Amino acid sequence: MAATARNTATLDDLVDKYGDSVLPIQLDVTDRQADFAAVKQAHDHFGRLDIVVNNAGYGQFGFIEELSESDARDQIETNVFGALWVTQAALPYLREQRSGHIIQVSSIGGIVAFPNVGIYHASKWALEGFSQALAQEVAPFDVHVTLIEPGGFDTDWAGSSSRRADPLPAYAEVHAATEEVRARRWAGPGDPKASAAALLKVVDAQEPPLRVFFGEAPLRLAKADYEDRLRTWEQWQPVAELAQG
């Protein structure tokens, strides 16, 4: 839903090539009123909405103690509320026509968590939670919801498009170790151009999934994380039952 100064030239090229089939709208997704206006404009222009992709977002780096209030609030406002407002704006149209597909671009970071991106994880876990509930709420209207959970891709996500908190000297060694692990974890990032064909497979599916990984690494990371969770939950089940009384 968002067009920025960096991609204006690309959007202009698309308009020149495809004419009225492309409608670029510049939008700050943290502005709820503007979100509703933009979705209405898109609907009125095309006559209907079929697929809504909530892809606007960015990565906020910083250990939890290092985050300023602005760091934390801006991340949640964009990654969570931005997607929520656009989703709310689109739902009346999708319900009325009893069809449509909302694509929420989450992350492998929406189900696991690593150091130095804690508030980013918080935003994606929130997106995952409300989207799973949403999928059940709109299923009776034949509206689908899918969470795309990419791993590392060859984009500028960790570059100039990200934001970084002011580091605390006390964490200097931990930061260095974290970066070494991160570099090994995402060796061989995915090709973002290949994602288009994968996304079309999802939206063209007769029964699209609620969640789907993009990339090779997420399944491996998720299995390790969930196996560890299950072991811990089972180990501490006696305490869980003790707490029930």
Q: What's the token pair of residue 162?
A: 């990200």
Burial 148-158 (b: 16+ CB within 10 A, else e): bbbbbbeeebe
| 11 vs 185: CA distance, rounded Å | 34
Considering 93, 120, 123, 131, which one is annotated as catalytic? 120
Burial 35-55 (b: 16+ CB within 10 A, else e): bbebbeebbeeeeebebbbbe
Q: Are 116 and 160 in contact (CB under 8 A)?
A: no
* Helices of type H across 147-216: 172-185, 195-203
SS3 220: helix
DSSP for 73-131, written as a single string:
HHHHIIIIIHHHHHHHHHHHHHHHHT--EEEEE--GGGTS--TTBHHHHHHHHHHHHHH
Is 226 designated active site?
no
Would you say how long the chain is, in residues?
Answer: 245
Is 120 designated active site?
yes
Considering 93, 123, 124, 131, which one is annotated as catalytic? 124
Q: What's the token pair of residue 223?
A: 């299995």
Is 18 designated active site?
no
Considering 93, 106, 107, 123, which one is annotated as catalytic? 106
Q: What's the token pair of residue 181?
A: 């692990």
Residue 222, C-beta contacts closer than 8 angstroms, at least 6 positions apart? 108, 111, 112, 213
Q: Catalytic positions, please?
A: 106, 120, 124
